[in-house]
Chain A
Amino acid sequence: MKIGDLVVYLFAAALVAVGLMGMYAMGTQGGDKSVVVELDGKEVYSCRIYKGMAPVEFRVDAGNGKYNVVSVTYEEVKIKEANCPDQVCVKSGPIRHAGQAIVCLPHRVVVKITAGHEETPDVDDIAS
């Protein structure tokens, strides 16, 4: 075997290795949960939840001065503050698992945790 052959084989091996690594990375990414925020049925925000992530806090503008402040950490997701009349969303406390959601009916805001596509949620839906 000449050096040229060796180069080609090494190149081929490297190509496969990179491909496999890429797949692995995609796989783990697919396994992570996400937070999705919807306003009146339309997605307005989403972010991935993963180990080691920095805590995220953001304000959802529901129009006419209405707002909800959402806090996201690896451990839990909650509505920290809102100016809705019933404060049900704030009193809800945190959600942690895929399939769970916090609903602010007056503002038509929904904060939900969705499963990554390699992952099965504990429940498919909740009779509330």
Chain B
Amino acid sequence: MKRYQRIRALIIAIFLLGVALQGCARTAGPQEYRKDIFALNTWVNIRIYAGKEGPDILDKAIKRIEEIENRMSVTIQDSDVSRINSNAGKQPVKVHDDTFEVIKKALEYAEISNGAFDITIYPIVKLWGITSEHPRVPTEAEIQDKLRFVDYRNVVLNEAEKTVYLKEPGMGIDLGAIAKGYAADEVARILKEEGVVHALINMGGNVVAMGGKPNGQPWRIGVQDPRAEGARRHIAIIEVMDGSVVSSGDYERYIVDIYKKTGKRYHHIFDPSTGYPANSGLMATTVVAPNSIDADALSTTVFIMGVERGLELVDKLEGIDALAITFDKKIYTSKGLKGKLIVTDKEYELQP
């Protein structure tokens, strides 16, 4: 009898312990899988919730990114873009459907922004070489000389043949302000096809949120601190269930004029009307849109156009919102973003 009591006490103790430890166990269901790689000249992160096929899905997504890079990179010798550029003024070049689609979209944005967004900026980009090993501040004469080649209206598309032709020798295109957005959309498409519901994609700052968090809450996307340099550090938060958030700014890649000791900052986003880094009074812009290709192109566009013209353009576009941060740390928002932005850094002042 006594022995039974003892055994019973032990069993109860072990049972209680078991119950207690159970609380620690994680619940089953889709697991989180992450992949971080360097591609498209930037740092790419993909986070998905999936079953054990998760790693295969991620590999598929990465392959697609590499494919896009090989077709659209301006530094890869045999990419579509390099071939288009080396045949400028000579002949039309047949390209992959995805390259064609991206160039077509880029020309649409050139049209609605009156040329503020212009992929034919490449001769200017090359002249300054901000992202190259030897960046420099060119002379006014050099800039004027290259600016002659900047005009999106001289890009000729042939829809039936899927060819792209640059009319003038010396012209060149650079898809750097739109290709990452396209790649992010493509990753999202692949994830959806594979049955992934909840995911977060970050293509060098081009964020795509899918399906909210697994617990039903929206994804919380930080707006980059424009003076955090290489650190990903935020000053505000935007909540998104489905959609893309992209920032552009003078902080991403720039040089400081140390030769003339002016300390002036020359960044990588050029104004096609001047040939100089855009100088519209903004440090940064962030655009929220259903598709990343739109958010990517528009973040650059708004940055070049400035607060008034930029936000006016965004207000005209259905389902798209933006914010712009001026040098005096004031945040201006488009109409649709009013009351939705959570500012977390007290140095920044949200304008009504």
Contacts and interface: CB of A to CB of B under 8 A. Distances in A.
A125 B224 contact: no
B28 interface: no
Given A19-B21, A110-B36, A124 B232 contact: no
A20 B47 CA distance: 33
B205 interface: yes
Interface in A80-102: 85, 88-89, 91-95, 99-102
B246 A23 contact: no
Given A105-B42, A125-B45, A127-B223, A12 B232 contact: no
Question: Which one of B5, B286, B344 has the greatest number of beta carbons of chain A within 10 Å?
Answer: B5
Interface residues of B, number: 53
A92 B205 contact: no
B17 interface: yes
B43 A88 contact: no
A108 interface: yes
Contact of A104 (B13, B230, B232): B230
A125 B229 contact: no
Contacts of A15: 13-14, 17
B32 to A, nearest CB: 10
Interface in A49-108: 85, 88-89, 91-95, 99-105, 108
A8 B10 contact: yes
Contacts of A41: 35-38
Contact of B207 (A5, A11, A103, A125): A125
B231 A101 contact: yes
A36 to B, nearest CB: 10
Given A126-B205, A126-B221, A127-B221, A102 B133 contact: no
Contacts of B2: 2, 4-5
A126 B229 contact: no
Interface residues of A, number: 42
A12 B13 contact: yes
B12 A12 contact: yes
B234 A102 contact: no
A16 B16 contact: yes
Contact of B21 (A5, A23, A92): A23
Contacts of B42: 105
Given A122-B237, A126-B221, A89 B230 contact: yes
A76 to B, nearest CB: 11
A32 interface: no
A128 B299 CA distance: 11
B230 A102 contact: yes
Interface string A31-51: 000000010110000000000
B345 to A, nearest CB: 11
Contacts of A9: 9
B234 A123 contact: yes
Contacts of B43: 103, 105, 110
B243 to A, nearest CB: 11
B6 interface: yes
A88 B222 contact: no
B344 A122 contact: yes
A38 B24 CA distance: 29
18 contacts: A4-B2, A12-B13, A16-B17, A91-B230, A100-B231, A100-B233, A101-B231, A103-B43, A103-B230, A105-B230, A110-B43, A124-B200, A124-B219, A125-B47, A125-B207, A126-B202, A126-B234, A127-B246
